[in-house]
Amino acid sequence: MLRSKTQVIAEFKKKISNMFGIPFEEASVANRYAALAAVVRDEINEDWVETNARYTRKDERQVYYFSLEFLTGRFLENNLLCLGVRDICEEALGELGVDLNALLETEPDAGLGNGGLGRLAACFLDSMAALGYAGHGNGIRYKYGLFTQKIVDGYQVELPDNWLREANAWEIRKPDKSVEVLLGGRCYPVPEKDGSLKFIYEDALRVRAVPYDIPIVGYRNSTVNNLRLWSAEAASDEDDLDFKSFSRGDYVNAVYDRYAIEAISEVLYPDDSNYNNRELRLKQQYFFVSAGLQSIVRHHMRKKEFKIAELDKHICIHINDTHPSLAVPELMRILMDSCGLGWDNAWRVTTGIIAYTNHTIMPEALEKWPIDSFRALLPRIYMIVEEINRRFCAEMLRRFPSDPGRVARMAIIGDGVVRMANLAIVGSFSVNGVAAVHTELLKTHVLRDFYELYPEKFNNKTNGITHRRWLLKSNPALSELLCDTIGSAWIREPQRLAEFERFKNDASVLTRLTEIKRANKQRLAKIILEKNGISIDPNSIFDVQVKRIHAYKRQILNLLHVLHLYFRLQNGDDIGTPRTFIMAGKAAPSYYYAKNVIKLASEITRLLAAAPSCKGKLSLIFLENYGIALAEHIFPAAEVSEQISTASKEASGTSNMKFMMNGAVTIGTGDGANIEIRNQVGDENFISFGLSVDEVLEYYAHGNYSSWQVLNSDPRLERILAFIRSGLGCEHIPADEFINIARSLLDYNDEFFVLRDFSSYVQTQEKLEKMYRSTKLWSKMSLMNIAGSGIFSSDNTITQYANDIWHITPTCEKERPSTSVRPAKIGKT
């Protein structure tokens, strides 16, 4: 146990010498980071083993969260906080002249996810462990995470994210727990003596799936859950170079097969919400689903008196969007082919185990795999999907004999493709959306047929974020203020942040809040100065939009407004309080529109920086390489949270919650979880604008929107668009540089109503600026947002998943003794 500074110092020095064979004085920053991480891991390991033993002893129902993405970010500081040893380590290292913060910054920012969906999975793991639920992650150990973004001359350039270059301090490779996954080849049944069928596989590619386990540490509760990530390797040493082809002299093909196998866990696909027909992605999906299920079933079969027909009492598999929906046929395969269950029993068990979350209503995100490639890659799985489909369609025809159109729409196989969402819904017992309005839209529009068939399966689980990372860890000053005012109970019970409302008229608390925000702004300004070489004014309003670049998220609306302010300044108008607009986000490498938005933002940055009229009044910064580490610096410094998606398009959004928890005020549309945020804080603490969901749906239904009409009736828009089309009047920008943007807004009739919402947005921004002028009013709004943010902790979300879907209870027994934790300095936890 790391109970005293002396102990920390001793352990730390011992590790350096054990790991690197050098004295502490000679160790590099990287050596020191690795040593500290190893000390912390020793501390975790005991609890890890004990947690597993506890789950087995109590025979708890285990939840496995299957996700193609886990956007975890760095672990070290989070683990220090969860163990309650952060301060003691900081002090101990301080005595050695080592700066803890410098060590923390050397850890790679684990980016095995694209955005919202991947980060949600990471927040959920954190909350499951903190609440003492037996919940684990299952995913892929990508060698390369989401690409590193560089901005060169205003253009996004993608570089590989080689996050495993140095050893990963948190993972443990478990080769003895490897399983085999078969791809391709042929598969056919042969009858056995007892009349059952045995499936023979010929010429399949045998992939060895090797698990790497990462501990997920609960907040001071001695619980350590498991994140299991799979790596693809050639099946065995002999297969390392496929022996058969090798001895036939087919050396090149033998080597090629090996690369084909390793390619499976090589890289995360960088597409967010856009389905592409890529066979490798289907391989990835089957690979981690099959490996995960095989190892889970194997683990539970080892239990005494275990009956496979009761597997649904022991486990729950939650699938994060449709990416892991092959879990349905794969679990059927294991139950029938390996465990000997008949179809009906296997189906009852499977559909009692799998639960599905939908994360998007964008039609282009729906996964559909062409039958031919699906069958060629997964011959046995395809047979099972065909049979699921045959039975489902037969049942549907019985129920709706006069409605064959309905049956055709709902079929799992149709139009030459396998429809993964249909498979996920039919094969699961629960289907949930991620915010109230999103779930309603699923029920009434996107998944209406299925809702009519299975109303009992549908439920809402509004997303959440872990307040430990997004408040306690990233905003220590605000955490301290909270502890001073309402005590530290909010750390374990985030709903108690509501008690902060008591201070909404307390002048000294409001002043402290303003000071904290200012200090955080200065901290971010310093980072921006170091990274971008641009100095920004901490007296200006920090207005922030950070998220993936996507047409429906409407970064372009933000940019149109910035250009509107630019013209006003050029005109000699007074725009009030100076503004700094901060943007960041990655564009999918093949998404040209999104890349065009980044280029436009970069050129506007340059334009404003060069314009004397904007000096000290208006600037725009596009921060490179948005990811978890950068986000942790941005949210605490933000004053305005831009949540401006077209109503009905953003399933939930989660950055909206991170901003609010850090005291930013939202300017937002009535979309996704924004609606719930507004309900929570009240209209006076949320700045709304734009079309409502119903209005947007009306337009789509009637097809009566004309972006030209809006343009022609608003001279401000005419001027701004002409300016964009002229390449911002700059000689160095070709006239057609922003053609993608201009086309989408005009030639393609502005699918996301950017022009339609422009006027409302500008007006609302003016209102916002006036509110900001009263520091007291603004500070009070900020306080009300913090006080209202407790229900958006993922602890709350996970409690609902546990109660309503998974039917599990916390298993936590003892509280972990703490030596010190940051807020304990001020109050007792």
Q: Which two tokens stand for residue 618?
A: 């208006």
Q: Is 548 among the residues known to form the active site?
A: yes
Rounded to the nearest whole angstrom, what is the least distance from the CB of residue 100 to ligand 26W in the complex? 32
Rounded to the nearest whole angstrom, what is the least distance from the CB of residue 359 to ligand 26W in the complex? 4
Q: In this chain, which of 650, 676, 750, 795 binds ligand 26W, going by CB under 6 A?
A: 650
**Other CB atoms closer than 10 Å to residue 238's CB: what's the count?**
11
Active site residue: 74, 228, 333, 553, which one? 553
Q: Is 547 among the residues known to form the active site?
A: yes
463 binds ligand 26W (CB under 6 A): yes
Give the residue closest to ligand 26W by C-beta: 116
Task: Please work out the total of residues on this chain that contact ligand 26W, with binding judged by CB under 6 A.
Answer: 23
Q: Judged by CB, which is closer to ligand 26W: 51, or 463? A: 463
Q: With contact defined as beta carbons under 8 Å apart, do 71 and 118 qualify?
A: yes
Site for ligand 26W, residues 263 to 282, rule: CB under 6 A: 271-275
Rounded to the nearest whole angstrom, what is the least distance from the CB of residue 360 to ligand 26W in the complex? 4
Q: With contact defined as beta carbons under 8 Å apart, do 2 and 79 qualify?
A: no
**Cα separation of 601 and 612, whole Å?**
19
Helix (H, G, I), strand (E, B) or coil at 583: strand
Rounded to the nearest whole angstrom, what is the least distance from the CB of residue 278 to ligand 26W in the complex? 9
Q: With contact defined as beta carbons under 8 Å apart, do 166 and 34 qualify?
A: yes
Q: How does DSSP assign 17-67, residue by residue?
A: HHHHSS-GGG--HHHHHHHHHHHHHHHHHHHHHHHHHHHHHHTPPEEEEE-
Q: In this chain, which of 32, 86, 359, 469 binds ligand 26W, going by CB under 6 A?
A: 359
Question: What DSSP element (H or E) covers 417?
Answer: strand 417-419
Q: Judged by CB, which is closer to ligand 26W: 635, or 705? A: 635
Site for ligand 26W, residues 108 to 167, rule: CB under 6 A: 114-117, 120
Active site residue: 485, 646, 654, 669, which one? 654
Q: Is 553 among the residues known to form the active site?
A: yes
360 binds ligand 26W (CB under 6 A): yes
Tokens 């350096």 belong to 16
Q: Judged by CB, which is closer to ligand 26W: 114, or 127? A: 114
Active site residue: 5, 41, 281, 359, which one? 359
Q: In this chain, which of 389, 475, 641, 652 binds ligand 26W, going by CB under 6 A?
A: 652
Q: Judged by CB, which is closer to ligand 26W: 138, or 168? A: 138
Q: Which residues contact 209 (CB under 8 A, 6 or more apart)?
A: 178, 179, 180, 181, 230, 231, 232, 233, 287, 288, 290, 291
Tell me how far CA of residue 545 lies from CA of 30, 556, 626, 764, in angstroms: 33, 11, 11, 16
**Cα separation of 144 and 270, whole Å?**
11
**Cα separation of 543 and 559, whole Å?**
12
Q: Is 799 among the residues known to form the active site?
A: no
Q: Judged by CB, which is closer to ligand 26W: 2, or 434? A: 434
Q: In this chain, which of 90, 321, 543, 639 binds ligand 26W, going by CB under 6 A?
A: 321
Q: Judged by CB, which is closer to ligand 26W: 285, or 779? A: 285
Helix (H, G, I), strand (E, B) or coil at 206: strand
Site for ligand 26W, residues 516 to 555, rule: CB under 6 A: none
Rounded to the nearest whole angstrom, what is the least distance from the CB of residue 61 to ligand 26W in the complex? 24
End-to-end C-alpha distance for the chain, whole angstroms: 19
Active site residue: 5, 32, 548, 564, which one? 548
Q: Is 586 among the residues known to form the active site?
A: no
651 binds ligand 26W (CB under 6 A): yes
Q: Judged by CB, which is closer to ligand 26W: 78, or 654? A: 654
**Cα separation of 160 and 163, whole Å?**
9
Q: Which one-letter amino acid corresponds to residue 802? A: A
Active site residue: 658, 756, 780, 822, which one? 658
794 binds ligand 26W (CB under 6 A): no
- Antiparallel, parallel or unpaired: β 413-414 and 417-419: antiparallel
Q: Judged by CB, which is closer to ligand 26W: 158, or 506? A: 158
| Sign of the alpha-carbon torsion through 354, 189, 278, 372 | negative
Residues in the chain: 829
- Antiparallel, parallel or unpaired: β 579-584 and 541-546: parallel
Q: With contact defined as beta carbons under 8 Å apart, do 617 and 530 qualify?
A: no
642 binds ligand 26W (CB under 6 A): no
Rounded to the nearest whole angstrom, what is the least distance from the CB of residue 553 to ligand 26W in the complex? 8
Q: In this chain, which of 36, 40, 103, 434 binds ligand 26W, going by CB under 6 A?
A: 434
Q: Judged by CB, which is closer to ligand 26W: 126, or 337? A: 126
Q: Judged by CB, which is closer to ligand 26W: 114, or 819? A: 114
Q: Which one-letter amino acid corresponds to residue 458? A: F
**Cα separation of 240 and 233, whole Å?**
8
Span interacting with ligand 26W, options 154-162, 535-543, 644-652, 820-828, rule CB under 6 A: 644-652
324 binds ligand 26W (CB under 6 A): no
245 binds ligand 26W (CB under 6 A): no
367 binds ligand 26W (CB under 6 A): yes
CA Rg, the chain, in Å? 27
Strand partners, 173: 212
Q: Which residues of this protein are in contact with ligand 26W, per CB under 6 A?
A: 114-117, 120, 271-275, 321, 359-360, 365, 367, 434, 463, 650-654, 672
Catalytic residues: 359, 547-548, 553, 654, 658
